[in-house]
Amino acid sequence: MDHKKALEGTNTTRGVIKTSFSEKCFSVFNYVFFIVMGLTTLLPFLNLIAKSLSSESAVISGQVGLFPVGVQFETYKYVLQDSMFLNSLKISVFLTVVGTACSLLLTTLTAYPLSKNRLRGRKGLLLIFVFTMLFSGGLIPTYLLMQNLNLVNSFPVLFLPAMVNVYNMLIIKNYFEGLPDELEESAKLDGAGNIRILVSVIIPLSLPVMATIGLFFAVAFWNDYFAAMIYITDPAIKPMQLYLKELLVSSSGDFLKDNVDAAINATPQSIQASSILLATIPILLVYPFLQKYFVKGVLVGSVKG
């Protein structure tokens, strides 16, 4: 019995992990730091929501903080009926889908051969790709190139120059290098070629990194306004971010002059807030479907240098 009690006492002692004062202070600091950082990100978003739902008088008088005052939905009604907003939303959705698919395909086709040591000139090719991360031709030469290719004021100019991101390509390459070589060897014994191995063996095993890089591309295409600002003047193919940029820098109330009802019941600030929030929703809806792959894809794909 004494021996049994001694064992129980030992197990109880071993089960309790004592934390030092410095560790407790570090944990408290971490909690406080991340709470502050989270609030820093969340509070402006809450202010936008409050402005978009608040009445005209409350917004003009500066009464709106984190909660709406005098709730109204006229601003959302106006934005959802605006043909320019709906057209830019359609262009951005189409650009994100097409650009992400094409970029992911081309980046994967680039990363796969570069992940193989048997590729002749592999190190030289990698050096060329890394060189483009540090140096570029510049804005004016790039614009002249797009102009000579007759891509200015066309939809493809929004995604063709950004189809291969070297950083994303290196992440995928590193992920491919971590896969067992025996899988490819067994597929070759069964008569599969390189394309068949990539499609049937490599890609199904690389869903985490594919989903992660796909999300990177989707967010980049959705948020990009600079390419459209440089190359696009046709209102019919302006993406959402360029529309929002022009909306925010336009003279106060200019976009309300053709809609009397909206001008009476809403303010330019509330219309701008509603447009920003509605433009944020589509990309937010994508993340939950890719969340389970996100952390794994980034960590595993970036371990090897």
Q: Sign of dihedral through CA atoms 38, 44, 45, 50?
A: positive
Report how far residue 213's alpha carbon sits from residue 300's, in angstroms, rounded to the nearest whole number.
Answer: 12
Residue 260's pLDDT is: 47
Residues 160, 27 share a domain: no
Domain contains 15: no
Report how far residue 55's alpha carbon sits from residue 264's, in angstroms, rounded to the nearest whole number.
Answer: 10
Residue 296's pLDDT is: 60
Looking at 71, 106, 136, the residue that finishes a domain is 71
Residues 188, 162 share a domain: yes
Residues 131, 41 share a domain: no
Domain contains 14: no
Round to the nearest angstrom and report the end-to-end CA distance of the chain.
Answer: 58
Looking at 71, 106, 133, the residue that finishes a domain is 71
Instruction: Name the DSSP letter for residue 82.
Output: -
Domain contains 238: yes
Domain contains 131: yes
Looking at 12, 42, 71, the residue that finishes a domain is 71
b/e code 155-174 from CB counts within 10 Å (16+ = b): bebbbbeebbbbebbbbbbb
Residues 287, 144 share a domain: yes
Report how far residue 235's alpha carbon sits from residue 247's, in angstroms, rounded to the nearest whole number.
Answer: 13
Report how far residue 36's alpha carbon sits from residue 12's, in angstroms, rounded to the nearest whole number.
Answer: 37
Residue 98's pLDDT is: 92
Report how far residue 104's alpha carbon sits from residue 86's, in angstroms, rounded to the nearest whole number.
Answer: 27
Report how far residue 147's alpha carbon sits from residue 127's, in angstroms, rounded to the nearest whole number.
Answer: 29
Residues 129, 57 share a domain: no
Instruction: State the total domains in the chain.
Output: 2
pLDDT (tens digit, 0 to 9) for every residue of the chain, 305 residues total?
555 555 455 444 455 567 777 888 888 888 999 898 888 888 888 888 888 777 777 777 777 777 877 777 778 888 888 888 888 889 988 999 999 999 999 999 988 888 888 888 888 888 888 888 888 778 888 888 888 988 888 888 888 888 888 888 888 888 888 888 787 788 788 777 878 888 888 888 888 888 888 888 888 888 888 888 888 888 888 888 888 888 877 655 555 555 545 555 567 777 888 888 888 888 788 777 766 666 665 555 444 44
Residues 38, 167 share a domain: no
Domain contains 227: yes
CATH number of the domain to which 108 belongs: 1.10.3720.10
Residue type, 248: L
Report how far residue 61's alpha carbon sits from residue 50's, in angstroms, rounded to the nearest whole number.
Answer: 14
Residue 49's pLDDT is: 84
Domain contains 305: no
Return the structure tokens found at 71. Answer: 């709730």
Residues 199, 54 share a domain: no
Residue 235's pLDDT is: 83
Domain contains 279: yes
Residues 51, 154 share a domain: no
Residues 79, 64 share a domain: no
Q: Which domain holds residue 83?
A: 74-300
Domain contains 83: yes
Residues 91, 139 share a domain: yes
Residues 158, 271 share a domain: yes
Residue 207's pLDDT is: 83
Would you tell me how many other CB atoms lie within 10 Å of the CB of residue 231? 20
Residue 255's pLDDT is: 52
Residues 80, 46 share a domain: no
Residue 67's pLDDT is: 80
| Residue 59: C-alpha distances to residues 16, 67, 73, 138, 273 (Å) | 55, 11, 14, 43, 11
